[in-house]
């Protein structure tokens, strides 16, 4: 009996071993995009991805602006990043859209239809390829295609289904600060003059800010994203609401055609932009969801109309109060722009339930700013300024509440 049992055990072990080995190989064999090519011939624009399996991506188009979206399973990108557009393709972006979806967005110069799209199995030492051919078309035909391809859209996954504040799971005596690293995944943000994307810089700043706040023991600081993944704007403040945030800080880095312009700016929400630059900034930052390849109607369910609410006005006062404290603290650490407290209609700040600011930590288009933001020393200065401003803000708040 004993002999049979031990035999049986060995067999079970062997099967488990074989199964886990195959799972391990599968994980290692996840989708990899190793090359990207653009070409033009016979009036068609061809977009090719070299991949390591014969996966068929989901392809759909979106209007305003004209875009083609290619969704694949979570992938590793080892292809070239910078490439000039060709034919109808102006440029493309890529990145993690969801934990299980890798998204590539092609920005089109003009409307075009998907003439054909197919995946070729790898043969004779060649890797499998996904091929997409685009053919110029008119606006009406493009719009028809928006409807006909809409079934291919991956739904925007909402982590938080309610915008109502949920039961606060806060540590008693600690202030909850939610830090939002701007952009991420297939929305890279600005490309800095030193070749580092905004999404990478903002995540590094946010992480250091979180750690320096948590180290004080006075704060419970959390992030909206801790890796390079896209999160839509409304979802970002919903995460903060779910966490019961006492304050929400969205971290960004700006860009300007004039490379001499540098310095940080603190933005708060307002119905009307404080100046023309602020309005342009809002237009740039609010584009995040468009750049990531979604339609605003998919996520924008509770933003409109709340700006006039009274509750909003009170939070706006608190936001402004924090901004007024953050400006001098930032000024003592890094360079700031003229009139460093500005306001604009920023979608990521559109929650009326907690004070919120957006910190443009500097200009990535300026070499000195970009180097500062890309250095640990620079990021430490920003984190210190934010920590000191938060200390002063919450001290004032406590004094008012006594």
Q: Under the rule (CB under 5 A), what is the footprint of Zn ion?
A: 182, 189, 252, 285
Minimum Å distance from CB 287 to Zn ion?
Answer: 9
Does residue 252 contact residue 361 with C-beta atoms inside 8 Å?
Answer: yes
- Preceding omega of 239 cis (within 30 degrees of 0): no
Shorter beta-carbon distance to Zn ion: residue 247 or 346: 346
Closest by CA to 88, choosing from 43, 140, 153, is 43
Residues 6+ apart with CB under 8 A from 143: 63
Residue (107 or 180) nearer to Zn ion, CB? 180
Cα 360 to Cα 121, 214, 236, 253, 337, distances in angstroms: 46, 22, 17, 5, 10
The least distance separating Zn ion from the CB of residue 285, rounded to whole angstroms, comes to: 5
Q: Which is nearer to Zn ion, 192 or 293 (CB)?
A: 192
Question: Quick one: 356 exposed, middle or buried, by C-beta within 10 A (0-12, 13-18, 19+)?
Answer: buried
Judged by beta carbon, residue 94 or residue 252, the one nearer Zn ion is 252
Which pairing describes strands 129-136 and 112-120: parallel, antiparallel, or unpaired? Answer: antiparallel
Beta carbons of 239 and 351 less than 8 angstroms apart: no
Shortest approach of Zn ion to residue 187 CB, angstroms?
A: 9
Task: Give the Å distances, CA to CA, from 235 to 127, 162, 213, 225, 258.
Answer: 38, 10, 23, 11, 33
Identify which of residues 322 and 363 has a Cβ nearer to Zn ion in the complex.
363
Please say which residue, 246 or 285, places its beta carbon nearer to Zn ion.
285
- Smallest distance, Zn ion to C-beta of residue 241, A: 21
Closest-by-Cβ residue to Zn ion is 252
Residue pair 69/59 in contact by the 8 Å Cβ criterion: yes
Place of tokens 């070239």: 80
Q: How far is the CB of 189 from Zn ion (least distance, A)?
A: 5
Nearest distance from C-beta of residue 296 to Zn ion, angstroms: 17
């Amino acid at each position: 009996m004993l002999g049979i049992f031990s035999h049986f055990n060995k067999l079970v072990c062997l099967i488990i071993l074989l199964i886990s080995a195959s799972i391990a190989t599968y994980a290692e064999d996840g989708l990899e995009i190793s090359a990207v090519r653009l070409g033009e011939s016979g009036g068609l624009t061809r977009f090719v991805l070299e991949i390591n399996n014969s996966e068929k991506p989901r392809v759909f188009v979106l209007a305003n602006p004209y875009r083609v979206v290619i969704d694949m399973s979570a992938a590793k990108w080892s292809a070239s990043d910078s490439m000039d557009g060709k034919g109808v393709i102006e440029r493309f972006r890529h990145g993690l859209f969801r934990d299980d979806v890798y998204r590539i967005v092609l920005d089109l110069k003009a409307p075009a239809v998907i003439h054909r799209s197919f995946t070729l199995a790898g043969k004779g030492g060649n890797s499998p390829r996904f091929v997409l051919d685009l053919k110029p078309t008119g606006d009406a035909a493009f719009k028809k295609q928006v409807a006909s391809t809409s079934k291919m859209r991956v739904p925007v996954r909402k982590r938080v289904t309610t915008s109502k504040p949920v039961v606060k799971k806060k540590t008693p005596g600690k202030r909850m600060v939610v830090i939002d690293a701007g952009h991420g995944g297939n929305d890279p943000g600005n490309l800095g003059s030193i070749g580092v994307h905004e999404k990478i810089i903002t995540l590094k700043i946010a992480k250091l800010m979180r750690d320096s706040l948590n180290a004080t023991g006075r704060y419970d600081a959390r992030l909206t994203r801790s890796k390079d993944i896209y999160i839509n704007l409304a979802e970002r403040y919903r995460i903060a609401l779910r966490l019961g945030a006492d304050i929400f800080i969205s971290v960004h880095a700006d860009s300007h055609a004039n490379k001499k312009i540098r310095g940080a700016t603190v933005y708060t929400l307002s119905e009307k932009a404080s100046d023309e630059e602020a309005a342009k900034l809002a237009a740039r930052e609010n584009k995040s969801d468009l750049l990531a390849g979604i339609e605003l109607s998919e996520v924008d369910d509770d933003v409109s109309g709340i700006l006039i609410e009274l509750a909003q006005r009170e939070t706006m006062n608190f936001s402004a109060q924090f901004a007024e404290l953050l400006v001098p603290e930032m000024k003592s650490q890094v360079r700031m722009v003229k009139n460093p407290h500005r306001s604009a209609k920023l979608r990521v700040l559109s929650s009326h339930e907690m004070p919120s600011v957006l910190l443009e930590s500097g200009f990535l288009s300026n070499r000195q700013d970009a180097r500062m933001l890309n250095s640990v020393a620079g990021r430490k200065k920003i984190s210190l300024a934010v920590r000191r401003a938060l200390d002063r803000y919450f001290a004032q708040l406590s004094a008012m509440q006594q």
